[in-house]
Structures are given as C-alpha cells and as structure tokens.
Amino acid sequence: MQFKNQNKQFLSFLPGVLLVFLGGCAQFDSLLSTSDTPADTPSSRPAESAAIAVAGDAPFPALVITDTGADSAKVSIQAELLNEIPVDDVAETFTLSDEEVLAVGVDVAEAESDAKFGATDDDVWSRIRAGFELEEYDHRRIKREFAWFSRHPEYIDRVAKRARPYLHFIIEEVESRGIPTELALLPIVESAFQPFAYSHGRASGIWQFIPSTGKLYGLKQTWWYDGRRDVYASTRAALTLLQRLNKQFKGDWLLALAAYNSGAGTVSKAIRKNKKRGKPIDFFSLGLPRETRGYVPKLLALKKLIADPEAVGMTIAPIPNEPYFKRIDIGSQIDLALAADLAGIKIDELYQLNPAFNRWATDPKGPHYLLLPLGQVDEFETALNKLPKKDRVRWVRHKIRNGETLSTIATKYHTSVTLIKRTNRIRGTQIRAGKSLIIPVASRSAPTYKHSAEQRKSRTQNVSRKGKKTHHTVQRGDTLWDIAQLYKVGVRALAKWNSMAPTDTLRLGQKLVIWSNKSAKVSVIEAAHHALPPNRSITKRIGYRVRRGDSLSRISSKFNVSVAQLRRWNKLPKGKYLQPGQYLTVYVDVTSQTARS
C-alpha cells in the first residue's frame, strides 16, 4: 500500500477509534450484527479480528472491518458515510493482512479518488495514478507547464491514443521494479509516444536514447535494426538507467530525471557549483540547461493533470488494463510484409509495434523476436511453424556486370553489403564480372514498407516547403555545414528536410533535398569546389603562413582551390583582411599542383 501525506489526518484519529472499539461501542455491535460474521463482543475476540467503523464527521467514506479469521480482515468501503447507507450496500470489498489494517485510510482515499474520475481497475490510467510517489511542488515552472497542458486537451488526446499499445507494458515494468509510476509518463515528455521520434540531438525512440547511451545499455544499432526504437528493449534499458541515476543521486528522483535529460555529469557539476557557493542543491535551485529546467516540471505537471483531469474539465480516454502485445521468438530473419500476412494484420500495425526495424526485414543477426497484438499470436505461431526458415526471406541470383561493386548491388536490392558478403562467403570487397551472387530481397515493392527508414526519409524529403527545391548529391569530404553554407541555408533546417540530425554522418552518393530562397544562387565555380578533392589518397592537409601582400584570391589561385573553401576551412568571415604571419589550413590535391611558388 502507498502512504500519502493527505492520509495523516485519518491516522491521527485512528487511536481514538480503536479506544471506542475497545469500549464495546453499541453502534459497532449493531453494525456487525447485519453482516455474516457472528456478533461476538470485541473483548471476546483476538485483536487482529477487530471491527473498525469510521462515521459521523470523518473525512473518508465509511469503513467496516469484519472478522474473516485470525489472519486477515475483510474491509467494506461504502460510497457514503456509515450512518447513511446500510452496511450491506457496499461498493467494493477486498482483503487486508493484519499489518495492513491500520493503513486502510490510504485505500479509502485512493478508492474515493478513482470513483471521482470514473476510473476502475480496468483502466491503466487508474493504475498509474495509484502508484504516484513523487512529491508535489508549488513552483512557477510546473504551473506554466500545467497551464499549457490544460489549454491543449487535443494534445493529451493524441498522446493517449499513441500510448495505448505500449502503456500497459510500461506500467508492468515500472511496478515490477517498485519505482514511482510517474516514470511511466516520461515518454510523453520525451517523444509524445511517437515510436519513430528522432531529435536534432540524434535521440531516437519513445525514450529518446542517443546512440552512445543506447549502446552502453545494450541497445544494438545496425543498418537493419535500431534498438533505441525497440519498445520492449528500450523501456527496460530506460528504467534501468533511471534506477542507476536515482541511486547515484541518493534517492532524489528529480535529480535522476534531470540527469536522464542532460547527463549525470551536467547535474553533478551544477551540484558542486552550488555547494561551493553555499546554495541549496535541490533540482529547482540548480543552474541546469534551459531544456532540463523545463523537462522535470513537464513531468510533474503531467502527474498533476493525470491525478485530477476533471479539475481542468478534461477527460482522458481510458486504456484497458490488459496486455496489448506479446513478444514472440521467431528464430531467424523474416520479411516484415510476410510476417504481417502470417499474423493477419496490416504491415503498418506491425511496424507500429516493431519500429526498431529499419528495413523490409528483421536483422539477420537478431534480435529474433516480434511484438504482435495479443489476439493474433496463435494465428501467427501456427502459420510460422508451417513455413520453412528458408522461405521467410525471398532470394534472387544476380549476375555481376562490369563496373558493379558490392555497394551498388546492395543499394539496388535494398540490402546491406555485410549480408551479401556473409551469404556469399566473400571476405574482401573484390568481385568479378560474370560471377553470380545470391541476394536476399523484399517480397513487395519499396512503398509497401512505408515505415522503413528509407521510406520515412523519402516522405520527409517530398514535403512541399517554401523556396526553391534543389537536389544535392553528397561527394567525398562533404559535411552538412559545408552544404548549408554553399546553399545559404541553416544546418538544422537542412537536417530536418532530410530526416537527419545535424551531427549525422553523410554517405557518399547520398541524395539531399535543399529548400533555398530563389534569390540564393550558387555559382558554378563554388559548386565545383565546395568539397574536398574526390580522392583522399591524393589530398593533403597543409599549413600555410600568410606573407606580406597575400590575399585570399592569390592563395586560392596558388593552390588551385576556391576562396569559399579557404574561408570555410579557416572560418574566415567576409570583410576581414589577412594578416602577415597568420596561419591557414589548406587541403590540396597534389595532382593539380604545379611548380608555382
């Protein structure tokens, strides 16, 4: 049972009630006579089988604890005060152990709260509400976030709808660890329960793991699969991380949550700084990053809202308190479209429960499991058992042509070089024209797998935006910053247009979409020289000391590079003159240099 501050009032007068009981109150005797329990006098029965009634001006619904044996007591909770409704008209009955009898006021308060919101044991929100443990704060940041949530019920509706497939599993995991159930609401703050959420900081999934932290907590990330989006694996990893942070910050959940957002080092540094200045070290007193200062208040505001949605005239759609999915071991790679057919569901629903898979099939190296709707499990397992493993993925024979590489072949068939090499037992990267390769391929056309990484990125790139649409093919040495400078656009905007984060690595030959103002023109010379020379084996980085009389134009001509490249490599603002002795970095193609000095 969970003890709460508001129940101290009940516990304060409980000893008085017990004294009344010990005195053999006639009112209690008459009440007990209406039950199925023999009307023994209190003094003739063991203390553990006591009857307790709270009536009159008590702040809680009426209680009757009647004897059901020496080891437990049956508690009846009435909707009205005891002196207004007969004992037989009870709303709910349950059994308490002897040690729990004195805590009955807590359950009364919680039962009263659930009745107020129309919640039942069949509602996950009620289950979450019952386990709230975090202290309530009256802080302006929480008030601000609460006001926003209160003004946007449509947002809460959308979040609740998205949360439905995942929330029962999450609360099960939270409760099994004995941690505050408020943590089950954290994906609302992190991602609004969007399984394919991806931030500018490269955080992914409903729990928003960055790549390095994901790997540290066992979330595999490959071309085929990203465990940060795996609802099953990432939930367990996130809760483990939160528990470790809570232990690190000596049981302070607010500091643990802050560390989850900005890193334990950031929070520890802020604590040390406040200690040195003799200031408090609670969350609200620390000088944390702006995002983190709002992060924890958002969760506390959500708690307040979920605890009493009717206070702001809001109704939260109930979520059944039962499993939505089951994890099924499949043992090998399988085409996702085929898996959806075997389960009798649409492939969109399969991706919704299994957003970790980047491509048209599961990762050939695992994990070998799928999350499936509970009602489709039997159908899927029966069909899967009848299907040989060799038929779970379609294969084609490809005859190698002149000029083809493993990379170009993999791109053509939407598969990976690693898988082609392993399937065909190729050690290096050399292949010979005329030979054949066995290649796994998707059973359906690419648009069928519309939630795969390629299709998600394609949809983002095809969104119509302001400005003129331009396509850019990534060349060796390109960076997002270079390309953004070339087309006079922002790095974050460029990343967003292409479903990327600003720090993501570009791939040679990758196609990017740029939306620039019609007035922004890229000169032919600048476009030709915006990247490093194509062959890095003949590209050298050199240091050049500026001489008297030098200019950017003269230096660019000397090394056969552009002025724009010199500015970019050395972060030189326009209008600033070079100074004799100044050091410059220059990347030169040694094959294009002459004997000029």
Q: Is the peptide bond before 195 cis (omega within 30 degrees of 0)?
A: no
Instruction: Find out whether 87 and 76 touch, Cβ atoms under 8 Å.
Output: yes
Q: Residue 412: which residues within 8 A CB-CB, separation 6 or more?
A: none
589, β-bridge pairs: 539
User: Residue 221: is it exposed, middle or buried by C-beta count within 10 angstroms (0-12/13-18/19+)?
Assistant: middle
As a whole number of angstroms, the distance between CA 498 and CA 457 comes to 6
Q: Is 145 a catalytic residue?
A: no
With CA atoms as reference, report the closest residue to 142 among 301, 249, 372. 301
> Collapsing DSSP states into helix, strand and coil, what is residue 587?
strand
- Tallying the residues shown for the chain, one arrives at 597
Q: Is the peptide bond before 367 cis (omega within 30 degrees of 0)?
A: yes
- Selected catalytic residue, list 133, 190, 381, 526: 190
As a whole number of angstroms, the distance between CA 101 and CA 75 comes to 9
With CA atoms as reference, report the closest residue to 109 among 63, 61, 73. 61
Measured N-to-C along each axis, helices 377-386 and 336-343 cross at an angle, to the nearest 10 degrees, of: 120
With CA atoms as reference, report the closest residue to 228 among 253, 255, 256, 191. 191
* Number of other residues whose CB lies within 10 A of the CB of residue 350: 24
Instruction: Find out whether 562 and 529 touch, Cβ atoms under 8 Å.
Output: yes
Tokens coding 134: 């975090």
Instruction: Find out whether 115 and 79 touch, Cβ atoms under 8 Å.
Output: yes
As a whole number of angstroms, the distance between CA 136 and CA 140 comes to 13
Greatest Cα pair distance in the chain:
115
Tokens coding 280: 């408090």
* Catalytic residue ranges: 190
